[in-house]
Structures are given as structure tokens and as C-alpha cells.
Amino acid sequence: MKIIAELCQNHNGDFDTLHHMIKSAAKSGADIIKIQSIKADRLKKNDEYEGYRPFEPEYARLKGLELSFEDEINFIKICNQYAVEPMTTVFDPADADYFNELGYDFLKLSGYSIPKFEYGLSLSKFRFKKLFFSTSSLTLEEIERTVTNLRAKSIDFTMLHCICAYPTPLEKLNLQNIQFYKTHLGLTSIGLSDHSDPHSDNLLSTKLAIFAGIDAIERHFTVLDKDETRDGKVSVTPEMLSELKRFASLPKEMQYKDLNQFDDTQKFNHDFYRKRF
């Protein structure tokens, strides 16, 4: 199983922080480290959302998070130094030349950008070896359409189950969809892009998905305090990432025992009812 450390916005636009994150994520067990090739100038202003998230401050924030072409070249080099696979998310088919010149082997698409990529058809402009795409904001019909197109183009892909809610509460995580997708779509590889709050659920959501048999887990990763970045509340720490690596490496029986440890209430009830009856 592959662990994807999503650095996303947690570097706050500072390359020294990004370098530290790469080193820390690699040391903690990440197999793939991902950034986002954000291009703020491609953002569109929608008047209907000005009351929710005004365009100008959002543009300024994302502009400050942009990494230069040279930054991304160095990102790839540093990942290679630490023997982890570099990956980025692109948001527009127009970024194909930029992506190709950088030379990534792995490409990520978010669910909400899938329609802009014509449900996979626009990927003919991109040179890559492996695609990861998330289901966030996609209907079942859109997911089916995307999978059909990717197969028609002989693209090697892993679909990541994802819920568009930050943080995602356990009752909305819909982990049951993972097995449904695998069976319904005939997938040989499926994963989870998990945006649950690891500080409140103690990684339970991710561990349940790993135990269910996913092939990849994507988690936001931070070396900063969770209040220092926009994505901190859904990000795992180096210690948490190491724990996920440990859990994922266990045999299934040991994962079962880890997840089913009795708490004090269970221990009391087991003792009470066995002696009562």
C-alpha cells in the first residue's frame, strides 16, 4: 500500500519549509510526496460566492502559495534524493506543457477539476506514467464516465475515494463506497483521500480504510502547528504518518487486534455478563 503525503498549502509558500516537509515525510514513511501546481491567475471570480469567500483575498492567498518552476524542479530533485516519488496536482489542461517540462511521472487530478479535463480525455496532452484522481464532488455517473475514458486511453490509474468536506466527519466518510467502487467498476486499485480530523479521531478513519484493503492513502501532512496553516486541521504530523506506516505494515490479523482492543467499559461489561450468566 502506498502512502501519499499531501503537502498542499502547508508550506505557506516558503521553500525552506517545503524542504523540511519533504525530509520529514520521507523519514516518516511516505512513498509519494505531493504538492499542487497552483496558478492563481487561472482563478475565476463568481459573484454568487463573494459572500462566502471573496475573490480578491483568496487570489492573494493562493498567489502567495505558488511555487516557481525552479522550486518545482528542486522539489523533484529533493524527493529523488530521499527516494520518494514526487507528484503534483494540476488544475487546468492548459498546464500540460508546464507539467511535461518539469518531468513528473505521477499526476494527480482533483474531483472538482475532472469535468474541466473532459473526464480524462484531455490527458492526451500530458506525459506521465501513473494517474491518481479523487472522487470528491463527482456523481457516480461522472465517476463511471471517467473510468471508462481512462481505460479507453490505456491510462494506469488509482481512484481515490474522497469526500468534499473539511474536516470530514466519520458519519460522512462513506467508507462503504470503497468496496462498492471496487466491485461495481471492476477496479484493481483503489485508495482513499482522507480529510478527516486526525487530532480528534486518532487516525481511526484512515486505519479503517487500510484494514478494508485500500491500495493507497492520501493524507495532508504538516510539520507546523495545525493552527499555522489553512489545512492544518486535516493534516497528519510526522508522528501520525509513522503510525500509519506501522499499522499498514502489520499482517491483517494484527491490524484487527489493533482496531479491536477492549477499553475499560468493554472489559467491565465482558466480565459482568460472563459472571452474570
Output the pLDDT for position 163. 95
Output the pLDDT for position 170. 87
Closest CA to 142 of 165, 125, 117, 167: 117
State pTM to two decimals.
0.94
Give the domains, in start order, of the chain with CATH numbers: 2-251 (3.20.20.70)
Output the pLDDT for position 230. 84
Output the pLDDT for position 253. 97
Return all residues near 140 (Cβ < 8 A) that are at least 6 apart: none
Output the pLDDT for position 106. 98
Alpha-carbon distances, residue 260 vs 11, 123, 211, 223, 253 (angstroms): 36, 43, 12, 30, 11
Output the pLDDT for position 38. 87
Helix boundaries (H) for the chain: 15-28, 55-65, 69-81, 96-102, 140-152, 176-184, 198-201, 204-212, 238-249, 252-259, 264-276
Q: Look at the alpha carbons of 75, 76, 82, 85 in this order and tell me if their dihedral is positive or negative.
A: positive
Q: Name the phi and psi angles at 262, rounded to 5.
A: -75, 135
The C-alpha angle 24, 10, 213, rounded to 5 degrees, equals: 65
The C-alpha angle 57, 58, 63, rounded to 5 degrees, equals: 100
Closest CA to 91 of 115, 68, 67: 115
- The pLDDT profile of the chain, 277 residues, written as one tens digit per residue, is 999 999 988 998 899 999 999 999 999 999 999 999 988 888 888 888 888 889 898 888 888 889 999 999 999 999 999 999 999 999 999 999 999 999 999 999 999 999 999 999 999 999 999 999 999 989 999 999 999 999 999 999 999 999 989 999 989 999 999 999 999 999 999 999 999 999 999 999 999 999 999 999 999 999 999 888 888 899 999 999 999 999 999 999 999 999 999 999 999 998 999 998 8
Output the pLDDT for position 42. 84
